[in-house]
Every structure is written in C-alpha cells, then in structure tokens.
A and B are shown apart, each in its own frame.
Chain A
Amino acid sequence: SYELTQPPSVSVSPGQTARITCFGDALSREYVYWYQQKSGQAPVLVIYEDTKRFSGIPERFSGSSSGTVATLSISGAQVEDAADYYCYSTNISVNGKEGVFGGGTKVTVL
C-alpha cells in the first residue's frame, strides 16, 4: 500500500528554522496537506495544496514540494509550535482514490 514517510522527530531552538520532510512516490502529481496536532486536540490544517497557508496560520509556516518530497518549514520557531505534524496526500490505485497520512513528526522547540 502507498506510504508517506516522515522523520519521527525534529528538534529546533526557539527562533531557528525547523524543516519537516514528507516522501511519497505520488507527490509529484498529488497535492500535500500539513496538519498540526497538539496533545489532546484535533488536528489543525496548516498548509494546503502544497504551499498555501490556511486561514489564521502564522506566516512563519510555509510549504514547498518538489518531485517526491514535500517540506513544511517553520521559520523562527516558537515554543507554542511544539506539536506533532502530519502530512497528508492521496493516491490512485486499483482500489480507487485513497487518502494517506504520513506517520507524523514530533517537533520539539527548546
């Protein structure tokens, strides 16, 4: 089955840039979406269609995609950005079109 691969964890100092990657064979032809999930809360959409920031998301969050890898960047990371981040995309197979989440990346800011 189709998979999206993320690093399990990323650490960054406050004010520095955190980058989270997401690898998937179909990413060159399918959009990527990024979600932030804090403990005990539902996920929040951060980036949609590879590069677009969702409403209310700070400008320090940005997305990019090239070939089979998408990247979420947090420029000038803040303590409140510590969370789990998931990429999401779709894949068309013999089973139809299915959604897939990456395994998630725990971002630590300290």
Chain B
Amino acid sequence: EVQLVESGGGLVQPGRSLRLSCTGSGFNFGDYAMTWVRQAPGKGLQWLGVIRNKAYGGTTEYAASVKGRFTISRDDSKSVFYLHMNSLRTEDTGLYYCLRPLAYWGQGALVTVSS
C-alpha cells in the first residue's frame, strides 16, 4: 500500500524558514516524481512544485508564486523528499500535502506563519 507521511509543520514567524519532509513507503520511491501542493484555510488547492526522479535528471519545477523562496529536494536512499521554505509570509499559512503524482496524497502538514 502506498503511504505518504508529511512532517515538520508548525508555527513559524514571518521571514523565517521551515523544512517539511515527506516519507514514502509501499513503492519504489526512486522511480517516481514527487509533488507538493498546499491549501490555505478555506481555500482551494495550489500546486507548488515537482521534483522528477533520477531517470529524468531529478529536475525541479515551481509555481511562479513560490519560485526563488521554496526549494524541493529528495533523498532516495531514505525515501524522503523535502520542501524548504524561506522568507515565509502570513499568506503561506496552510495545509501542505505531498503527493506521488497524481493519485497518492499524504494527510497534510499544517504550517502557520504568524508573529
């Protein structure tokens, strides 16, 4: 069974950084691209970015709204990928989901950016 578990969420002050992790199990992690999506409270889904698998160079793509502030990386030896978030803003508050495109989602990690 494919499982994805996010961790690392919490309360952070504006301007600070935070790193989310997503651990996958039940599949060969290194074979798949992985994606981050977020959902602000009461709002819709927002695609944040993707990291491809090594066969496709491990390259990344980002939404224009977070490019330059957010970075996605992966460690296939640990079946984990990450979302590094810098210069956080109050509008970055939300539930952050990792997914194995496009069918398998974690349950989300809550990030609250507030002073």
Which positions in A face B, CB cutoff 8 Å?
1, 33, 35, 37, 42-45, 48, 54, 84, 86, 88, 95-104
| In the complex, chain B residues 33-52 whose Cβ is within 8 Å of any chain A Cβ | 35, 37, 44-47, 50
Specify which of A54, A84, A99 lies most central, judged by the most chain B CB atoms within 10 Å of its CB.
A99
Q: Please measure, in the bound complex, the distance between the C-alpha atom of A48 and the C-alpha atom of B45, giving whole angstroms.
A: 17
Q: How close is A2's CB to chain B, nearest CB, in angstroms?
A: 9
Q: Contacts A42-B108, A99-B35 given: A86-B44 contact, CB under 8 Å?
A: yes
28 A-B pairs with CB atoms under 8 Å apart are A1-B64, A33-B102, A37-B45, A43-B97, A44-B105, A45-B102, A45-B103, A48-B103, A54-B103, A86-B45, A88-B45, A88-B47, A88-B102, A95-B62, A96-B61, A96-B62, A98-B47, A98-B61, A98-B62, A98-B63, A98-B64, A99-B63, A100-B47, A101-B37, A101-B44, A101-B45, A101-B47, A102-B44
Q: Please measure, in the bound complex, the distance between the C-alpha atom of A104 and the C-alpha atom of B46, giving whole angstroms.
A: 11
Chain B contact-residue range equals: 10 to 19
Q: How close is B44's CB to chain A, nearest CB, in angstroms?
A: 4
The answer to the question of B106 belonging to the interface, with a C-beta cut-off of 8 Å to chain A, is: yes
**Contact between B64 and A42 (Cβ–Cβ < 8 Å)?**
no
Q: Please measure, in the bound complex, the distance between the C-alpha atom of A42 and the C-alpha atom of B97, giving whole angstroms.
A: 8
The answer to the question of B25 belonging to the interface, with a C-beta cut-off of 8 Å to chain A, is: no
The answer to the question of B7 belonging to the interface, with a C-beta cut-off of 8 Å to chain A, is: no
Chain A positions within 8 Å of B44 at CB level: 84, 86, 101-104
- Chain A residue nearest to B107 (CB atoms) is A42
Cβ 8 A contact of B105, one of A42, A88, A96, A98? A42
